[in-house]
Structure 1
């Protein structure tokens, strides 16, 4: 049994070296999975630490990392930790202006980038930032310094120096500075200590049904605190980490790796489900009837409820005929899919559970390192539609206005250089104000209902929680993205991006010629289809909450266009400003 640890880099000796796996990490290079054994990983980390000392890096220096997930990311992360440097991880897909702002705000001294595109963008951002000395790359690029230039061979002198630095690092020292993407304003640097991250993965590790025999597929960005914390958890439990090649190869990589676990955002599960349903529409006759009966049964499933012998018999048959193919598509060995970063539609949780693919929804925020609550599978402790019980060691209370307040050892040190905002976020009694509205069901299971700042009031004085409406209407296979608007107006309305793949199938089934997405969004028949879907879900809400009008948009909101954050949350102010005329037109 591994010992307790106080600094994250102790995972090297207390977990990675003890498990001594031949594939601590693996990534696909030139069509082959290349594995990194424990001994090679630890040697590479140490070599990088020695090299940072030679560069003159000192405890507290800030080093930025801009890269897709790959083993090099972890090597330099641990290498930095051993010399007390602070890792400032950045999303690969944010703007050059954001890079520049973060480099300046954090006082970044060195930058490590993945490929040529990221190198060029970092170089442009660093042009006016005096603190940046060198930009290194993981790929070998002409005219760029390669990261291996930093590594240094072990000597008695540098080994002794590293050991002295490691002794000086306390559990509450700053480990990383993570700039939140934010839906409004400038990014804020969240200061997280070693203890913040350790307390979170130690609290969560028993909720994950994994052991040293397991493999995990990783495809969420490592600069996101959730994926990073989970990777530390994998290392702690001896689980091997396989990196997907990119977001477009996840299906192929799942079949290749056959992992027991992966973490995801709900949008990816939605896309998997929508593709499966679209294929179901292509079936005919008995096969089609069987497929949709399986879906019907799946959407009724609840892991906490025994629905009776007749339901169970039917479900078992459908698991053999239909759902077994879903399991094969995910590699055939899945013990758990962890969903976070946004609300998971209950129908998705139900149908994947019915298919023998347990999905656990959790909740957190960067400021909490990040997990605050999560559903659990072994033993079963979950409620679909909630984010589960509070993690061990944490406490939640609901404020008078419904805001969720949290206290625990995983709460951040504060916002970098922003003492006033820190005092706003963490009150004098140590409660982190999450900005989310919620409640505890059965006194135990946390349910998120909305963002405090996003609730709006209609002209009739009624409060509307847009996320509740949005999450419900996104259950339609014909709705990809939606934001509900109506601040100060008579009724709520919505901007909707159709799910164009499903829409093509519907058009084909109804004899409607499909031209382009943009033209289809203007068709009266399509508008009626989606408005009917909205009305179907409206019935579950009070009259003042119901959406009366909609506008269809011709293309999905993207990170590149600045309409959604890197974690796929819509930037409401940006979207409402961009489509101001359309919104106003719904109220004429």
Structure 2
């Protein structure tokens, strides 16, 4: 297969696929899904590229994108690549302070923004940094510009400005001079600790990622449809969407993450990248349905799940032909129970669902595979252009991170079990961070991931996030992620933050599943007027305590949660307690709940 430089990819695909649908998006006016053909896609990329050249954006200059997922994001990225310009995506939920930091760090003169919120925040930044941020280009034509704003332009007007012979000629020259070693993207890490760093990815990184995925995924074709659900700021979604476009797939762009449950049945994708949280919610939802079913239906559900577990995990996973009786029973449940379940979610056509970005518990993973949802769990980082390893269709190990990508070198540091990675998908370095680059790589060029793991042949296992390790006052090391993972699959627990660094025992802040808790209170005739009052009830506390204890059987005594506090409000991105990729910012959580934490350790 020919892997085109991204400067020309969309034009080449348009020549091949013509009027076939490339992208779908929900039209806000009608609520219906609209189509964009490959020819239209290529034309919009061309116009965007020419407008960039006409507006004076230089070769290898940095531009910013601050938006929800929209077709315009892809026009901007590929228009930039045609010009040898560097795109820097930013999360749509970022604050003006976060945007200002990136604008200053990357010296961004032109920022493409999505909707009113992003425009308002970007306008604040432009007023603060007028000598750096000179122009805003607004995707949504319904955005109301500030009366003082004399420099911003709507995207539709912007692309019309560049439609001239000089700009066309300039883009053609730049595209012809595009090189694999050109910088393509700078991804700013979500920053669980300290300031975020810009991960510099070149076209070589992307091209190698495309080649490696093509080798690992020969069954994924241009007949597939992918749901673009995670933010395109996330390297996992950005990289996966690029894989889809290289394959010639149709990509449905989900604009609002809150509408994903509505969007999935409407599109019925065959593939979609996602973080574990989505699938954890599926697991919890199904467990609730089973719990509320009649005794007869409970037996049917449990038998179906056990049948699926035997068929998929004891036979198919190992490449062994299952007994005829088991195969027949599985096919019956697959046509009935499993298909109904998947149809309700909207994934009945699903063929490949890559999952990464955070740990996924073995319990949830085994359940999903048992009900025949084709989860392919994996591991990667922004610094490795996403994928380091993931599950193949057969011969994978539950509890692992799957097998390594082709031609990627991975070894384990014997001093601390750190996973070290080397290969063409590894970043060239952090943007303008020479000291951090020196610390990020070994002398022989391996990138230090910051994750501890082990390697058995080509199979990679995760142990813990090294920087997240806590040391108790008794000198014992604990991995908070592992403890959180052990209880987070419980239907009564929505979020958990483990505490224990320099403490004499492990405690936790827990956000319960309020809906289930309120249902339990109703069943038990527990009276309350506020959610905070409900959480103070001793019977509610004992319920959660019992559910925590149920999941701690395999933990050492010093790892077990001894005390916990129930919180009336969830951890959120807006409060700063979660990153944009839904990882805990432990320092912020510790600051916000210092009083509750100290109370748990009071004698």
TM-score range, shorter chain: over 0.9
What is the correspondence of 1:311-390 to structure 2 with a 5 Å cutoff? Answer: 315-329=330-344, 330-377=346-393, 380-390=394-404
CA gap 1:270/1:21 in 2 versus in 1, 3 angstroms:
farther
Query: How many Å separate the matches in 2 of 1:210 and 1:89?
Result: 27
Asked whether the equivalents of residues 403 and 460 of structure 2 are also in contact (C-alpha less than 8 Å), the reply is yes
What is the correspondence of 1:446-461 to structure 2 with a 5 Å cutoff? Answer: 446-461=460-475
1:504 shift after superposition: 3.2
Match of 1:115 in 2: 115
Query: How many Å separate the matches in 1 of 2:144 and 2:549?
Result: 58
Deviations along 1:486-527, one digit per CA (max 9) or x if unpaired, are: 122222222211122332343344444565433322221121
The count of residues paired between Structure 1 and Structure 2 equals 583
Match of 2:451, SS state, is strand
Deviations along 1:239-297, one digit per CA (max 9) or x if unpaired, are: 10011242222222211112110111111111122223223333334234433444566
Which one of the candidate residues 501, 505, 516 is aligned to 1:487? 501
1:426 shift after superposition: 1.7
What is the correspondence of 1:99-498 to structure 2 with a 5 Å cutoff? Answer: 99-129=99-129, 130-140=131-141, 141-143=143-145, 145-152=153-160, 155-208=164-217, 209-295=219-305, 302=313, 303-304=316-317, 315-329=330-344, 330-377=346-393, 380-400=394-414, 401-441=416-456, 443-498=457-512
Match of 2:136, SS state, is strand
Asked whether the equivalents of residues 51 and 167 of structure 2 are also in contact (C-alpha less than 8 Å), the reply is no
Query: How many Å separate the matches in 2 of 1:381 and 1:393?
Result: 19
Structure 1: segments with no counterpart, 5+ residues: none
Asked whether the equivalents of residues 45 and 76 of structure 1 are also in contact (C-alpha less than 8 Å), the reply is yes
Match of 1:177, SS state, is strand
Deviations along 1:520-567, one digit per CA (max 9) or x if unpaired, are: 222211211221122222220222222222221112100000001000
Asked whether the equivalents of residues 261 and 336 of structure 1 are also in contact (C-alpha less than 8 Å), the reply is yes
Taking structure 1 as the reference length, the TM-score comes to: 0.94
Asked whether the equivalents of residues 403 and 434 of structure 1 are also in contact (C-alpha less than 8 Å), the reply is yes
1:147 shift after superposition: 0.9
The answer on 1:96 being equivalent to 2:96 is yes
Match of 2:24, SS state, is strand
Deviates more, 1:557-566 or 1:394-403: 394-403
Asked whether the equivalents of residues 492 and 546 of structure 1 are also in contact (C-alpha less than 8 Å), the reply is yes
Query: How many Å separate the matches in 2 of 1:110 and 1:230?
Result: 26
Deviations along 1:107-138, one digit per CA (max 9) or x if unpaired, are: 11111111111111111122121111111111
Query: How many Å separate the matches in 2 of 1:291 and 1:390?
Result: 35
Deviations along 1:178-201, one digit per CA (max 9) or x if unpaired, are: 111110111111111111122112
Deviations along 1:449-494, one digit per CA (max 9) or x if unpaired, are: 2110111222222211111111111121111111222122222222
Match of 1:362, SS state, is strand
Match of 1:343, SS state, is coil
Query: How many Å separate the matches in 2 of 1:169 and 1:270?
Result: 43
Deviations along 1:352-400, one digit per CA (max 9) or x if unpaired, are: 22222110111111111121111122xx242222111111121111112
The answer on 1:4 being equivalent to 2:6 is no
Asked whether the equivalents of residues 66 and 89 of structure 1 are also in contact (C-alpha less than 8 Å), the reply is yes
Query: How many Å separate the matches in 1 of 2:412 and 2:388?
Result: 14
1:42 shift after superposition: 0.9
Asked whether the equivalents of residues 362 and 373 of structure 1 are also in contact (C-alpha less than 8 Å), the reply is yes
CA gap 1:64/1:249 in 2 versus in 1, 3 angstroms:
same
Which one of the candidate residues 583, 588, 595 is aligned to 1:581? 595
Match of 1:17 in 2: 15
Query: How many Å separate the matches in 1 of 2:354 and 2:132?
Result: 39
Deviates more, 1:113-122 or 1:485-494: 485-494
1:25 shift after superposition: 0.5
Query: How many Å separate the matches in 2 of 1:462 and 1:310?
Result: 50
Query: How many Å separate the matches in 1 of 2:256 and 2:201?
Result: 28
CA gap 1:517/1:315 in 2 versus in 1, 3 angstroms:
farther
Query: How many Å separate the matches in 2 of 1:553 and 1:449?
Result: 28
Structure 2: segments with no counterpart, 5+ residues: 146-151
Match of 2:149 in 1: none
Asked whether the equivalents of residues 268 and 347 of structure 2 are also in contact (C-alpha less than 8 Å), the reply is yes
Deviates more, 1:351-360 or 1:231-240: 351-360
Query: How many Å separate the matches in 1 of 2:487 and 2:166?
Result: 63
State the Cα RMSD in Å.
2.1
1:205 shift after superposition: 2.8
Match of 1:151, SS state, is helix
Query: How many Å separate the matches in 1 of 2:257 and 2:352?
Result: 20
CA gap 1:444/1:505 in 2 versus in 1, 3 angstroms:
farther
